[in-house]
Structure 1
Amino acid sequence: MIKLIPVLEDRKEVLQNLYQLYHHDFSQFTEEDLNNFGLYEVNLEQYWQDPRWNPLFIYHDDKIVGFLVILFENHDVDPDPTHVIYDFMVLRKYRRHGIGRQAAIQAFDLYKANWKIAQMNTNEPAILFWRDVISKYTSGNYTELFRHDLKKYVQVFSTRDM
């Protein structure tokens, strides 16, 4: 069973640790290097200073198996809120078992909103994952564009009428 649990400020160190793994996985696409302390530069303070940021742990069988961050792009203001899955990571051990798919669907189901999901054009596994999840979730009712300025694919859809 998959559960999404908000990351409270007293658990930010756990999220900080998970971000090290996230940046390690992502470094093949970003070419990011470690700092002199053997760590990736990660600053998560905005998550607890700005209410638009919503970090969530992904739990499976009472174990943390990843995290995701939902950004309320326009402060969740009606009548047209837009949310973004800003970061998303499932530990390698738990990938290809449907956990990421279930976590994404639970995230979409949390809010009636317009959604945008973006992937770097070099991250083929993420592009394929998100296209598949969103296509099945929306029954193909989404649009995709390529942002040349960002070098990212972006899928756009809405859960407002679902």
Structure 2
Amino acid sequence: MSDLSVRPATVQDRPTVERLWLMFRHDLSGFMGVLPGPDGTFRGERVDSAFTEAGWAPYLFRRADRPVGFAFVRGLDGPARVLNSFFVVRGARREGIGGTAVREVVLRHPGRWEVAFQYANEPAVRFWRHVAARLAPDAWSEETRPVPGRPDLAPDAWISFVS
């Protein structure tokens, strides 16, 4: 995909990533039943963490000159990298952008990886299983884990592999 760019997001990219974040959270609200706050936005602590905390890295995906998605990686200073948040805009889905972007992000940080998703998000279930099978054929695992401090939520699904 020659017109796709996957690169670390800069401070100058933050407003673009914040707008993409709202789309991401809006998509997830359909699976999680979360409403925006009184100001019409969703919680943004992960955006803050991705741009300010050690061990985190934000990425921006562009197709030609248009933003089409982002990823937040955490755990870069620990034993496992966690793909904390990952999003591709609806108008760019089903074109291979997501798989290409994941591969490029993972290749920048070799080692053990973990990705969480919710079983209620069926497209995410199919996508992450497909990605794991392509990145680590016969060498990935899937398990459920409770959401820390949130016994009211369904457990998350986690896929693990080594790149």
Query: Same fold per TM (> 0.5)?
Result: yes
The answer to whether residue 64 in structure 2 is matched with residue 61 in structure 1 is yes
The aligned length equals: 153
User: Runs of at least 4 residues of structure 1 off by over 6 A?
Assistant: none
CA distance in 2, matches of 1:42, 1:88: 14
Per-residue Cα deviation, 1:91-125 (whole angstroms, up to 9, x for no partner): 00000011001101111111211000111121111
The answer to whether residue 145 in structure 2 is matched with residue 143 in structure 1 is no
Q: Which amino acid aligns with 2:61?
A: I
Residue of structure 2 in register with 1:28 after alignment: 30
Q: Alignment RMSD, CA only?
A: 1.5
Pick one of 80, 83, 86 that aligns with 2:81: 83
3-state SS, counterpart of residue 158 of structure 2: strand
- 1:114-153 alignment runs, 5 A limit: 114-147=112-145, 149-150=146-147, 151-153=155-157
Q: Which range moved further: 31-40 or 101-110? A: 31-40
Residue of structure 1 in register with 2:51 after alignment: 48
**CA apart distance, 1:13:** 1.4
3-state SS, counterpart of residue 17 of structure 1: helix
- 1:3-18 alignment runs, 5 A limit: 3-18=5-20
Unaligned runs of 5+ residues in structure 1 are none
Unaligned runs of 5+ residues in structure 2 are 148-154
**CA apart distance, 1:157:** 0.9
CA distance in 2, matches of 1:62, 1:124: 30
CA distance in 2, matches of 1:45, 1:152: 22
**CA apart distance, 1:130:** 0.4
Pick one of 140, 157, 161 that aligns with 2:161: 157
Q: Which amino acid aligns with 2:161?
A: F
Q: Identity over aligned residues, as a percent?
A: 24
